[in-house]
Amino acid sequence: MGTEDKKLITSIKRATILSGIGMGLLLGIIMGLSTSEVVKTIFGVLAGLMGAFLGFDKRSYAGMEASEYEKEKYNTLFTAIRAGWFGLAVVFGILSGMLIRTQEIFELSVAKRVTQWTKAGYDPDYARKLVTYKIFAIDPNTGELGPVTEVQKAGMAALFNAEDRAGLCGAIDTDNWNNDWQTAKDALLELKNEPLTKLVAAIEFNVPEDQRFDFLKALRILVCEMKMKTTRFCELGSDISKWQGNEDTSPIANEVERLNPANQKRMMDVLSSMVCQLEKD
């Protein structure tokens, strides 16, 4: 084999590797960024293309000329290289896409969105409703899950299903309880969520009644953030200073800070336990 032939084979190998990586990353990132229904559609469209792209087909070498056999041997090698790098790139692409989607790398947090509306002149409570409606399609007047509009879909970093969006984030709406603690308490206990049940008991014991609804508003910001993305609030422990240093947990930490030291400690212990359990589930 001459020098030129070796250079050609080396160039083809490089091109084969790059094509496998490129196609793998494209498919993997799309899969990682998408929800299951979208992935099904993508697979339906691309399934027929994968065989041709990877170059796998049945070959018979019987009766081949030596030169033709040599050519087919290299084609098989290039196919194996392309397929191997394609598989690795798909795995990396899926993990990267999931990271981008779950951590909302290119999206604003709920707290920042509320701040944007507040700076625009809206009342903070109304701003929270606007953000909740846009992201989760939860009716701010009733707290019920409504149909997702095209505008909402365009603004969602991840297409949550109805069960996720109608969970704690939609249930903790202080406007539905007319500033009545007993009504709020009954509604929260009806959710039959063990970590939340413990928190309700802790609120009743440690938080003065005139502060409870401010606490619940901050709690809603916290659980909505946990529904929007993968969080690691459990790692904050029960250290209130760490909670205040995180933009997603600072609103509720600031409410806890208003309590006396003994009540602060009890509330932080319960909050830490709650977020750890919710993140585990």
Q: Are 28 and 85 in contact (CB under 8 A)?
A: no
Q: What is the pLDDT of residue 149?
A: 53
Strand partners, 54: none
Residue 212, classified by CB atoms within 10 Å of its CB into exposed (0-12), middle (13-18) or buried (19+), is buried
How far apart CA 100 and CA 77 sit, in angstroms, is 34
Q: What is the pLDDT of residue 257?
A: 93
Nearest Cα neighbor of 196 from 281, 111, 277 is 277
Q: What is the pLDDT of residue 167?
A: 65
How far apart CA 133 and CA 146 sit, in angstroms, is 9
CA dist list (Å): 194 to 94, 231, 265, 273:
33, 19, 20, 11
Which pTM was predicted? 0.47
Q: What is the pLDDT of residue 208?
A: 93
Which H or E run contains 98? Answer: helix 66-102
Q: What is the pLDDT of residue 13?
A: 73
Instruction: Parse the chain into domains and list their residue ranges.
Output: 3-102, 110-280
Nearest Cα neighbor of 228 from 102, 95, 137, 133 is 102
3-state helix, strand, coil in the chain (%, to 5): 75, 0, 25
Q: Are 206 and 266 in contact (CB under 8 A)?
A: yes
Packing angle, helices 212-228 and 181-189, rounded to 10: 30
How far apart CA 114 and CA 118 sit, in angstroms, is 6
How far apart CA 120 and CA 143 sit, in angstroms, is 24
Which H or E run contains 131? Answer: helix 124-136
Q: What is the pLDDT of residue 204?
A: 92
Residue ranges, the chain, pLDDT below 70: 1-2, 4-6, 8-9, 27, 30-73, 101-107, 134-167, 281
Q: Are 214 and 100 in contact (CB under 8 A)?
A: no
Q: Is 248 helix (H, G, I), strand (E, B) or coil?
A: coil
How far apart CA 165 and CA 224 sit, in angstroms, is 9
Q: What is the pLDDT of residue 223?
A: 85
